[in-house]
Amino acid sequence: MSAHPYDHGHTVAGWTGCGIAVAGTALLGAGVCTVSGPLLAAGAAVDVLALLVTWALHLAGWGKPSGPRPREEWSWRVRDSGARAGHAECLGCRWAGRRGGTAEVPAPVTVTAPAPVTAPGERAAEADAVGAGG
C-alpha cells in the first residue's frame, strides 16, 4: 500500500521511457563534451526512440490516462483497461486515431450571488420599519 493518498503515475511506460531517455541524454552530453557529431546524432536518435517506446507502451495499456485513477489501479503492474478506446484528453491517443469518447463531461457549475451583508442593527431597524408601515 502506498504511503501517499494520491497516485504518482508510476507506470511501465513512464519508467521505461525515462530510462531510455536518460541513456540518450547521457550520449548527448558525451557528444557535447567530446565535440562528436556521431555521439550527438546517436543521443538524439536514442531520445526519439524513448519517445516512440513510451508511446507504444502507453497505447498497449502500460501507461496511464491524464487525471486521477482509482486506488486499485495505482500499482505500476496494472494495465490501463481504457487504453484500447483511447483517452479523451491524450494527445498520443489522438495521434494514434483513438478518440476516447468515454470521458465524462463535468456538470456546469451554477454560481448564486451571496446575500448582502448588513450590520446586526440594520436588520432590526428594517424589521421595525416593515412592521410599523404595514
**Mean pLDDT value across the chain:** 75
Predicted local distance difference test score (pLDDT) of residue 114: 64
Q: Is 76 buried (19+), middle (13-18) or exposed (0-12) by CB count in 10 A? A: middle
- DSSP, residue by residue, 12-34: HHHHHHHHHHHHHHHHHHHHHHH
**Cell digits for 123?**
436588520
Residue range 88-125, pLDDT digits in tens: 677 777 777 777 654 444 444 455 666 666 666 665 55
Q: Is 23 buried (19+), middle (13-18) or exposed (0-12) by CB count in 10 A? A: middle
**Cell digits for 7?**
497516485
- Identify which of 53, 52, 85, 83 has the alpha carbon closest to the alpha carbon of residue 65: 83
- Identify which of 43, 67, 51, 66 has the alpha carbon closest to the alpha carbon of residue 13: 51
Predicted local distance difference test score (pLDDT) of residue 106: 46
Predicted local distance difference test score (pLDDT) of residue 64: 77
Q: Is the pLDDT of residue 41 over 70?
A: yes
Mean pLDDT to the nearest integer, 53-59: 88
Predicted local distance difference test score (pLDDT) of residue 117: 65
